[in-house]
């Protein structure tokens, strides 16, 4: 489980999340992406870009456009977690 460290709505339907995911930040950098599965019930996996990393936390910025991104946007910081984060994926820039 990956804890939501910080959640902020930064514009209409646009959300910034910082998620604790040490296995991603170990080698992952902005421009690569992760694939997120919110919980074991909501089976859909969605790709989201890593926009920054800090320590063991990864930043994602996303637009709530459909089922899974709206479900993600409804999660709260502090107590709530994400079931799976696969990554980092994609090419790493130098």
Ligand X SMILES: Cc1cc2nc3c(=O)[nH]c(=O)nc-3n(C[C@H](O)[C@H](O)[C@H](O)COP(=O)(O)OP(=O)(O)OC[C@H]3O[C@@H](n4cnc5c(N)ncnc54)[C@H](O)[C@@H]3O)c2cc1C
Report in angstroms how near the CB of residue 28 gets to ligand X at its nearest: 13
Q: Which H helix or E strand runs over 66?
A: none
Which of 7, 68, 82, 85 binds ligand X (CB under 6 A)? It is 68
Cβ-based nearer residue to ligand X, 23 or 64? 64
Q: Which of 52, 5, 48 is nearest to 30 (CA)?
A: 52
Residue number closest to ligand X, CB atom: 66
Site string for ligand X, 13-52 (x = CB under 6 A): --------------------x----------x-xxxx---
Q: Where are the beta strands (DSSP E) in the chain?
A: 2-11, 14-20, 33-37, 46-49, 52-54, 57-63, 81-82, 84-89
């Amino acid at each position: 489980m990956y804890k939501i460290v910080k959640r902020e709505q930064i514009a209409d339907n646009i959300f910034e999340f910082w998620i604790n995911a040490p296995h991603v930040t170990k080698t992952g950098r902005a421009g690569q992406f992760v694939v997120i599965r919110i919980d074991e019930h909501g089976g859909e996996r969605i790709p989201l870009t890593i926009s920054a990393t800090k320590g063991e936390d990864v930043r994602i910025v996303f637009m709530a456009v459909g089922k899974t991104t709206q479900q993600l946007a409804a999660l709260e910081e502090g107590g709530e977690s994400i079931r799976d984060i696969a990554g980092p994926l994609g090419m790493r820039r130098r």
